[in-house]
Chains A and B, each alone.
Chain A
Amino acid sequence: KAGVTQTPRYLIKTRGQQVTLSCSPISGHRSVSWYQQTPGQGLQFLFEYFSETQRNKGNFPGRFSGRQFSNSRSEMNVSTLELGDSALYLCASSQDRGRGDTQYFGPGTRLTVL
């Protein structure tokens, strides 16, 4: 079974621009979660989508948004980029995000904001 894929793997943007990251979950997985990883803040939960609906949301500003399509693929968007948005963005999928369900992580998209 193919793993979680994320595109692109690397991205360089300038302040004020917007960016869209894509995540394809493992086939059959309906839940997709997004995390931001930075050296200073560690791994922080952004949001989770299940069956095209946002089910959980972390403490990030409204510039961070996401969506999920009917095939469970997910995108996250960051508008008006700031230098502090430079991070590794990780996507994780699971079959049904019950508390004990295993999350499978993609390799991440490394975003650099100049």
Chain B
Amino acid sequence: AQSVTQLGSHVSVSEGALVLLRCNYSSSVPPYLFWYVQYPNQGLQLLLKYTTGATLVKGINGFEAEFKKSETSFHLTKPSAHMSDAAEYFCAVTGGNAGKSTFGDGTTLTVKP
């Protein structure tokens, strides 16, 4: 079984501030972890993913995430928020059942000018 918990359904930051979106997972096997972004009326776009190897993963648009097995976390960060980062972000895990991703409930990021 696998599950994902995203802490905070809404996060608001000022432009230029640090973005931190939290994701904790549960998986009975070594997890593969993903972060997606969704803009209004669009599908999901992959930001980054962790499969194996380096635990600090860099993605598109300046985002990165660190896989911490001991904390079962995969938090998403960006040093400096931009207005265009305002969107909904989803963390997902693929565990032992290939082909079936489990998504968190999503976090809506608001960026204030």
Residues of A within 8 A of B (CB): 4, 31, 33, 35, 42-45, 48, 50, 55-56, 58, 90, 92, 97-100, 102-108
**Contact between chains at B100 and A107 (CB < 8 Å):** no
Complex contacts, A90 vs chain B, CB 8 Å: 43-44
> If the complex has contacts A99-B32, A99-B94, A100-B32, are A56 and B99 also in contact, measured as CB distance less than 8 A?
yes
Residues of B within 8 A of A (CB): 32, 36, 41-46, 49, 51-52, 90, 94-95, 97-106
Total cross-chain contacts (CB, 8 A): 60
Question: Which of A31, A42, A106 is in CB contact (< 8 Å) with B43?
Answer: A106
Interface contacts beyond A102-B49, A108-B42: sample of 7 additional A-B pairs, CB < 8 Å, sorted by A: A31-B99, A48-B100, A90-B43, A90-B44, A105-B43, A105-B45, A107-B42
Complex contacts, B95 vs chain A, CB 8 Å: 99
Complex contacts, A43 vs chain B, CB 8 Å: 90, 103, 106
26 A-B contact pairs sorted by A residue (CB < 8 Å)? A4-B43, A31-B99, A43-B90, A44-B103, A48-B99, A50-B99, A55-B98, A56-B97, A56-B98, A58-B100, A90-B43, A90-B44, A92-B43, A97-B98, A99-B51, A100-B51, A100-B52, A100-B94, A102-B46, A103-B44, A103-B46, A104-B46, A105-B43, A105-B44, A107-B41, A108-B42
Complex contacts, B44 vs chain A, CB 8 Å: 90, 92, 103, 105
Question: Which of A50, A103, A104 is in CB contact (< 8 Å) with B101?
Answer: A103
**Contact between chains at A33 and B49 (CB < 8 Å):** no
Complex contacts, B45 vs chain A, CB 8 Å: 105
CA–CA, A99 to B51, complex, Å?
8
CA–CA, A98 to B100, complex, Å?
10
